[in-house]
Amino acid sequence: MADTSWTSSAKSLKGVILDLCGVLYDSGEDGGTPIPGSVEAVKRLKASDLKLRFCTNETQASREKFVAKLQRMGFDISVCEVFSPAPAALAVLRDRGLRPHLLVYDGLLAEFESVDKSNPNCVVIGDAAENFSYQNLNDAFRVLIGLEKPVLFSLGKGRYYKETDGLKLDVGAYMKALEYACDVEAEVIGKPSPAFFNSVLRDMGLEPHQVLMMGDDLVNDVGGAQHCGMKGLQVRTGKYRPSDQEHPTVTADGTVDDLAQAVDLLLGERGGVSP
Partner 1 sequence: MSGRRVLKAVLVDLSGTLHIEDTAVAGAQEALCRLRRAAVAVRFVTNTTKECKRNLLERLQRLNFDLQEEEIFTSLSAARRLLEQNQQRPLLLVEESALEDFTGLDTSNPNAVVVGLAPEHFNYQTLNTAFRLVLEGAPLVAVHKARYYQRGDGLALGPGPFVAALEFATGCSATVVGKPQKTFFTQVLSELGCSPGEAVMIGDDARDDVGGAQEAGMMGILVRTGKYRAGDESKIAPPPYLTCDSFPDAVDHLLKNLL
Quick check: 24 and 70 in contact, CB under 8 A?
Answer: yes
Could you tell me which residues are beta bridge partners of residue 231? 212
H or E stretch covering 162: strand 160-163
Nearest distance from residue 78's CB to partner 1, in Å? 32
Strand order in the sheet with 15-18: 82-83, 51-55, 15-18, 211-215, 231-235, 254-256
Residue 81 has φ and ψ, to the nearest 5°, of: -90, -5
Q: How far apart are CA 211 and CA 253, in angstroms?
A: 12
**Of 1 and 134, CB closest to partner 1:** 134
Nearest distance from residue 252's CB to partner 1, in Å? 17
Please, is 180 exposed, middle or buried when counting C-beta atoms within 10 Å of its C-beta (0-12, 13-18, 19+)? exposed
Taking CB under 8 A as the criterion, the residue among 181, 229, 269, 270 binding partner 1 is 181
Taking CB under 8 A as the criterion, the residue among 14, 43, 44, 176 binding partner 1 is 176
CA distances from 92 to 4, 26, 80, 89, 183 (A): 40, 30, 19, 5, 22
Nearest distance from residue 132's CB to partner 1, in Å? 5
Q: How far apart are CA 106 and CA 124, in angstroms?
A: 13
Taking CB under 8 A as the criterion, the residue among 26, 58, 170, 221 binding partner 1 is 170
Contacts with partner 1 in 97-136 (CB under 8 A)? 129-134
Taking CB under 8 A as the criterion, the residue among 160, 194, 209, 270 binding partner 1 is 160
Taking CB under 8 A as the criterion, the residue among 12, 138, 164, 198 binding partner 1 is 138
Quick check: 275 and 264 in contact, CB under 8 A?
Answer: yes
Is position 173 an interface residue for partner 1 (rule: CB under 8 A)? yes
**Of 30 and 130, CB closest to partner 1:** 130
Contacts with partner 1 in 69-98 (CB under 8 A)? none
Is position 178 an interface residue for partner 1 (rule: CB under 8 A)? yes
Nearest distance from residue 113's CB to partner 1, in Å? 25
Could you tell me which residues are beta bridge partners of residue 211? 15
Taking CB under 8 A as the criterion, the residue among 14, 43, 159, 227 binding partner 1 is 159
Strand order in the sheet with 152-155: 100-103, 122-125, 152-155, 187-189
Is position 29 an interface residue for partner 1 (rule: CB under 8 A)? no
**Of 43 and 247, CB closest to partner 1:** 247
**Of 124 and 137, CB closest to partner 1:** 137
Quick check: 155 and 124 in contact, CB under 8 A?
Answer: yes
Is position 246 an interface residue for partner 1 (rule: CB under 8 A)? no
Nearest distance from residue 101's CB to partner 1, in Å? 15
Q: What is the binding site for partner 1 (CB under 8 A)?
A: 129-134, 137-138, 141-142, 145, 159-160, 166-170, 172-174, 176-183
